[in-house]
Structure 1
Amino acid sequence: MHKFFIAILIAIVGSASAAAAAPCQEPKLESVPSTHTECYFYKGTSHFRAEEYSAALKEWLVIVDKADIPIELEHFRASAQNNIGFLYYMGWGVKQSSEIAIAYWLPAAKAGHDEATYHLCHAYADAGSKLALGYCREALRRYNRTGSTDSEDSEVVAQIREYISRLEAQ
């Protein structure tokens, strides 16, 4: 009887270890475990691209809630916060809430996430907040600093400039 319980315990511990060591199922990430921050981020991104917004949110929330992310992977937390903010702002997979979106974008922007700063510019401007101009100027500074010639970034810069012009005219 005693050997039976030991065998069950070994089986449970063994299966838990195997589950923890399971490889990430995302392409090109098979070398990292499924519990790795990068795996959660890209699983969320895959769900987002498939318009499975609730599933994307679930993956990104794991990253935001993790207490033990190594410093070299913290950019995944800021990106997850930015993405979650976007889901809430748009109401995709969640009840639409500008307030919750802003609550996710603020720490992402503080961590240096350029897109989160742009989103704060946009959200505060649409809400008529006096904070908008400061975030828009900061977003423009950040996007100009990168010197990107990417057409998508150029569109963002043009939008930020429009916001600034409109806000300064008020």
Structure 2
Amino acid sequence: MHKFLTSIFIAIVGSVLTAIASAAPCQEPKLESVPSTHTECYFYKGTRHFRAEEYSAALKEWLVIVDKTDIPVELGHFRANAQNNIGFLYYMGWGVEQNSKTAIEYWLPAAKAGHHEAAYHLCHAYADAGNQLALGYCREALRRYNNGGSSDSEDSEVVAQIREYISHLEVQ
């Protein structure tokens, strides 16, 4: 009986310690009110690592988001952003071995979820590879950027690049 009670006690203490550890606050600025296991915390930790050019560490944080099965609908944009960012890391070979195919595998679900930058990356990647799918993705990316209503100069450059891709692809 003593062993049985001891094992129950150890299991309860282990559960309590796990709950306490998962309730630790996020260490990212302005996110101290959310737990360190929150999707938003993982995303911004990844972003901080990316900006510090710690690409492997960024990948690790964003992969946690992509692998989560319990992301509420209102936080789904973090998954699409993480997928887009991971695709970019693979395409560029930053923190991982460069792999366009893997990049595309991350961009496809992000684009399907409505991520306009992922659609642009698919346009770019397929066009550079000479893939027939490029024209469709380029047109979709242009539609998304035009409907976005942004007058941001960076977006204007992306739109110009997409139009250039389209004009080259339509000639082929």
Normalising by structure 1, we get a TM-score of 0.94
CA RMSD of the aligned region, Å? 1.6
> Gaps spanning 5+ residues in structure 2: where?
none
Alpha-carbon distance change, 47 to 162 in structure 1, aligned in 2, over 3 angstroms: same
Structure 2 CA distance for aligned equivalents of residues 4 and 41 of structure 1: 40
Aligned position for 2:71: 69
Worse-superposed segment, 3-12 or 28-37: 3-12
Q: Does residue 81 of structure 2 align to residue 79 of structure 1?
A: yes
> Within 5 A, what are the aligned runs for 1:40-51?
40-51=42-53
> Within 5 A, what are the aligned runs for 1:51-130?
51-130=53-132
1:20-70 Cα deviation digits (max 9, x unpaired):
100001000000000001011111001100111111101101110111100
- The alignment-based identity, stated in percent, is 79
Structure 2 CA distance for aligned equivalents of residues 162 and 84 of structure 1: 25
> Gaps spanning 5+ residues in structure 1: where?
none
Structure 1 CA distance for aligned equivalents of residues 67 and 101 of structure 2: 19
Letter in 1 for 2:56: S
Structure 2 CA distance for aligned equivalents of residues 107 and 4 of structure 1: 48
Superposed structure 1 runs of 4+ greater than 3 Å apart: 1-14
1:92-120 Cα deviation digits (max 9, x unpaired):
00000000000000000000000000000
Structure 1 CA distance for aligned equivalents of residues 67 and 8 of structure 2: 35
1:116-155 Cα deviation digits (max 9, x unpaired):
0000000000000010000000000000001211011001
Structure 2 CA distance for aligned equivalents of residues 114 and 5 of structure 1: 53
Using the TM superposition, give the Cα deviation of residue 5 of structure 1 relative to its aligned residue in structure 2, in angstroms. Answer: 6.8
